[in-house]
Structure 1
């Protein structure tokens, strides 16, 4: 544990950098790999995104045991092992020519996701930083927000230079040579028994009954909001490049628009994390939902080749970036600070299930209609519903 007021910058920087690589290689790169795999192997977008969706189901399945291991002090083993698994399965993906092994590989990638993405990263940060956890989360998500900015163009360059198989081998090497090494060298290894007086281990204190929130309509409205936004935030990154190509943008223009999302996420997270005196968390939540509505209201009217697509990318990125912090920090304000972990778990389960089905559902909707117009309109409808549910949530949360 770091001394009060002292930020362990090497530790935070290492975890932040590994988040950037993990999300870039395991989450964002897939969007650029769909087209070349479809051309070479003849697999449909629906089949490809179905395997991706199974990875998210796998990730949800492993989330609880991974969290328990981290709570017991095994964060170093979990995150190092997750990076090794990521490298292994990315390398296996590069050599696959058959669909069943491809599906099994993505189940393994899901297990790796559960060990290296934000959830385990936040848990490891909290166990080390104590009262500095909020600042550490902000820094980590700021750096992680550049994942699309770095890895969408990088993956594009790698595919152009080495083909999609060669690109995957390079991405595997990054997980093994950088992420695994940083996790092994920066995260404390030995399990420690927390002191009862240590505020950083507040979750270890006796808890009241978290099921009390199940009786509150505001809780279920927050779940609805989180599910709808989760579907958008998972489905759109996988399909955005194909959406833009279909609307008449070149691959270079589509990649350029995609790279705007990262800086927009980072700018929004910076304002959210360090500007709490200027705007409350509730106000930030309202702004998040409003930006999402504006983004998808704009997209249908952007003609192919128009620079306005950068406006959509900026609005979508800002909403997505703010959402990460709002999800983590707003529930205690709405429902009380007791049983934080249990309440977050109750919220996370339906969200992850919905997120797992989003890429496949968007792909299936595209296949049934022959274009992405219905997907764009669906996202607009979900954004509007999420905004309405969130506003009603705030109104009900004020009630005792």
Structure 2
């Protein structure tokens, strides 16, 4: 009886150091799985899917934009649920939703079922990607969640590195339908039980009702609005560049092979930057981390302008590094400025415009690239990041942190 009680208490309290390492490892694996089977999937499977469904590649890739819109609309609701009940069952349910969406996709013979599948995947993305993970950690650990958020992004930073070769090998050997079925099976057999076994149920806070009443921020609160604007502007440029980077480099007469090689360095650059942040910046205020990140992205983007090969290489590395630490700041800035109470709701409200921006940016910027050319696109995106930097340096500087 005593042993059972001890296990129950361990399962409902904040995780110990050993439990925390297991938790971050488990959540990190599931982040790689979730990102790899959603956001990074069309880059490899769009062409074979388009042939199979007898439709165009843009129509296939457009389903990802649709799923991001679905995820953005659902994110605040998911955040509120995590605030109230913790993230254990939300994350576990995301594994089921992602598996269901992938199974539906594998059975699609036309665009209707294919887009229905991506609608389900959008629901799973809202419940299982970074925002849900950050909210879960904030609910479990409060103000101490910052290092765990960094650890989560460190592991998840390898999503494209793991997913793209796996997807390419599976598609070449078995076809895209079987690839989707295998991914669904991994979600069900590995991802779902990992969430259930390693994510603790948070213990209720005795003083939570009073704190919630005191620290509940309306969406119009300037802190939340300015934070959301900063990360939405960054997300717009990040998403646009992720899709159009190769075309931008090719527009400056950099060879296709070299452009692809440069693009492949974006992921490792993000991971290295997160390691540096963890090693040297863990005690810095998250707003300063966000400022450095947005400036690095802007400098990297502007360095693409001249079209010089070596400068373009440094530009991609710099932009990737800035993007890597901006991902961390997206969880730690709200945690530090607004506190851990209602963190899920705050992250959900921030995620809505961020995901919508990620959905529309590739199409908008592809149109600008075709109509105006690469230099105009670079200047426009740099201007957007400049506005973000202005927000980071002027609108966030006077707010005191609230550690809860």
> Structure 1-normalised TM-score?
0.81
Aligned to 2:269: 264
CA 1:121–1:78: 2 relative to 1, 3 Å: same
CA 82–236 in structure 1, closer or farther in 2 if over 3 Å, else same: same
Q: 1:84 Cα shift?
A: 2.3
Q: 1:350 to 1:192 in 2, by over 3 A?
A: closer
* Cα distance between partner residues in 2 of 1:365 and 1:144: 31
1:76–1:336 Cα change, 3 Å: closer
Q: Residues 46 and 363 of structure 1 are in contact (CA less than 8 Å); yes or no, is this contact kept in structure 2? A: no
Question: Which one of the candidate residues 230, 233, 241 is aligned to 1:228?
Answer: 233
What are the residue-to-residue correspondences of 1:90-239 with 2, within 5 Å?
90-130=102-142, 132-188=144-200, 194-196=204-206, 205-208=212-215, 210-211=217-218, 214=221, 216=222, 220-239=225-244
- Unaligned 5+ runs, structure 2: 1-12
Aligned twin of 2:294: 289
1:386 to 378, 388, 403: 388
Unaligned runs of 5+ in 1: none
Shift of 1:319: 1.3
CA distance 1:186–1:337, shift in 2 (3 Å): closer
Residue 317 (structure 1) aligned to one of 320, 324, 327: 320
Residues 1:183 and 1:38: Cα distance change in structure 2 (over 3 Å)? same
Q: CA deviation at 1:147?
A: 0.9
CA distance in 2, matches of 1:150, 1:254: 20
Structure 2 distance, partners of 1:279, 1:49, is 39
Shift of residue 136, structure 1, vs aligned partner: 1.4
User: Corresponding residue for 1:299?
Assistant: 304
- CA 393–112 in structure 1, closer or farther in 2 if over 3 Å, else same: same
Q: Which residue of 2 aligns with 1:369?
A: 371
| Mean Cα deviation higher: 87-96 or 156-165 | 156-165
Counterparts in 2 of 1:245 and 1:32: CA distance versus 1, 3 Å = farther
Determine the C-alpha separation between the residues in 2 that align with 1:178 and 1:20. Answer: 12
**Counterpart contact for 2:106–2:176, Cα < 8 Å:** yes
Alpha-carbon offset, residue 338 of structure 1:
7.3
Per-residue CA distance 1:261-282 (angstroms, 9 max, x = gap):
2222122222323433674433
Please say if 1:19 is aligned against 2:57: no
Contact 1:284 1:326 in 2 (8 A): yes
Q: Measure, in 2, the Cα distance between the counterparts of 1:300 and 1:171.
A: 39
Please tell me whether residue 89 in structure 1 is matched to residue 101 in structure 2.
yes
1:352 lines up with 2:387 in the alignment? no
Question: Residue deviations 1:27-67, cap 9 Å, x none?
Answer: 12222333444455554454334321110111122223323
- Between the aligned partners of 2:242 and 2:210, the Cα distance in structure 1 is 33
In 2 relative to 1, CA 351–98 (structure 1 residues): closer, same or farther, beyond 3 Å? same
CA deviation vs aligned residue, 1:232-257 (integer Å, no higher than 9, x gap): 23333344456567777777655543
Deviation at 1:141, TM superposition (A): 0.9
Asked whether the equivalents of residues 234 and 355 of structure 1 are also in contact (C-alpha less than 8 Å), the reply is yes
CA distance in 2 between partners of 1:84 and 1:160 (Å): 26
Please, what is the CA RMSD of the aligned residues? 3.6
Q: What is the TM-score with the length of structure 2 in the denominator?
A: 0.80
- TM-fit CA distance, 1:359: 3.4
Contact between 2:293 and 2:322, CA under 8 Å: does it hold in 1?
yes
- How far is the alpha carbon of 1:361 from its aligned partner? 2.9
Once residues 210 and 344 of structure 2 are traced to their aligned partners in structure 1, the CA distance between those partners, rounded to angstroms, is 7
Counterpart of 2:278 (choices 273, 277, 283) is: 273
Change (3 A) 1:283 1:192: closer
- Using a 3 Å threshold, how does the CA distance of structure 1 residues 192 and 319 change in structure 2: closer, same or farther? closer
Structure 1 pair 336–82 and aligned structure 2 pair: CA distance change class (3 A): closer
